[in-house]
Each structure stands twice: as C-alpha cells, then as structure tokens.
C-alpha cells in the first residue's frame, strides 16, 4: 500500500463530507484534538494507543493517520515494534498481519 497516497485520498473524502455535515466534522476535529493533547499521557503515547486500536479493528486509515501522528510526536521504529508486539499478544494472527501493515506505514511515513 502507498500510505501517503491512501491518506491523501481519505483526506479528500473527509473534505467532501464536511460541507454536507459541518457540525459533525467540527465536533470530530475538536474531540480528536482534545483526546490527543498532552496530559497525564503524552501525545506520542496516545497516538501509539490509537495505532493499537487501528490494528485491532483492522482500520488501515486509522493506522495510517495515527502512525503519522505518532511519528510527528517522536515515536521510534522500536516503539512501534513493541506496540505491534502487544497487539499480536492480544489479537493473534489478524493483529500480526495488520501490525505488519502498521510497520510498513511507519517506514513509508517517516521517510
């Protein structure tokens, strides 16, 4: 998968939705910012947790957007690998497969 192209495509889809229901788009953006801001947990750790949810729910776009956020927040490849390991322990084979997608996303999005 070309992660940069996939995220650009999904971003265009969300931009076309926002005029149809601006309140929902604005509310989601506000919740997103509030949930991921630094607090007792750092933004980096929250983004890695969101990657976990993406892997466990098999949401490729969630993996991509939150991997990009984790990279921006300073996540390393080693931290991503440990995050994936946790997913494999909790989710077995499907988590392993989506975990490999997440590692590919890290490699492409951090380049």
From 78, 79, 50, 66, select the one nearest 3 (Cα to Cα).
Answer: 66
pLDDT at 105 (0 to 100): 97
Structural domains of the chain, with CATH: 43-111 (1.20.1290.10)
pLDDT of residue 40: 98
pLDDT in tens, 24-33: 999 999 999 9
- pLDDT, position 88: 97
pTM summary value: 0.94
pLDDT at site 68: 98
Q: What is the pLDDT of residue 95?
A: 96
- Percent of the chain exceeding pLDDT 70 equals 100
Give the pLDDT score at 24: 97
State residue 36's pLDDT score: 98
- Per-residue pLDDT, averaged over 51-69, amounts to 98
Burial class (CB in 10 A: 0-12, 13-18, 19+), 98: buried
d(CA 72, CA 69): 5
Q: What pLDDT score does 55 carry? A: 97
């Amino acid at each position: 998968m070309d992660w940069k192209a996939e995220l650009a495509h999904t971003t265009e889809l969300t931009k076309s939705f926002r005029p149809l229901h601006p309140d929902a788009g604005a509310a989601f953006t506000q919740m997103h910012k509030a949930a991921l801001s630094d607090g007792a947990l750092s933004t980096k750790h929250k983004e890695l947790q969101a990657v976990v949810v993406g892997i466990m729910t098999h949401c490729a776009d969630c993996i991509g957007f939150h991997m990009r956020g984790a990279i921006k927040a300073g996540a390393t490849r080693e931290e991503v690998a440990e995050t994936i390991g946790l997913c494999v322990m909790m989710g077995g084979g499907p988590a392993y497969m989506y975990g490999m997608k997440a590692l590919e996303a890290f490699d492409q999005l951090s380049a």
